[in-house]
Amino acid sequence: INLLRTLISMASNLKALPQERTISMSLVYNDSAPENYQPKYFREPKAEEDLHFDTKPVVFKIGAVNTKYHAMVLKVKTVVEIL
């Protein structure tokens, strides 16, 4: 719940999104995952889809969730000025 609150709080302080915007998600598996495993609705990224920034982006670690079987880390990388 803290992760969501932090994300909402951070997003509410950002200026309006630019017309061109992108979201990128990365999945990382532990050693027990089968080789070449690709979950439904996900695919390997193409080289031209790699995110490039004209200026150095700022990275915010919003939070993390760890369970017995899963882990998730949420980071936001942006060049949009805060406040």
CB 78 within 8 A of CB 58: yes
Query: Which pLDDT score, from 0 to 100, does residue 12 have?
Result: 81
pTM for this model (two decimals)? 0.60
Q: What is the mean pLDDT of residues 3-27?
A: 77
The per-residue pLDDT for 82 is: 52
Per-residue pLDDT of 33-57, as tens digits, reads 888 888 888 887 777 777 778 888 8
Convert the chain into a string of H (helix), E (strand) and C (coil). Answer: CHHHHHHHHHHHCECCCCCCCCCCCCCCCCCCCCCCCCCCCCCCCCHHHCCCCCCCCEEEEEEEEECCCCEEEEEEEECCCEC
Closest CA to 24 of 55, 50, 59: 50
Average pLDDT of the chain to the nearest whole number? 79
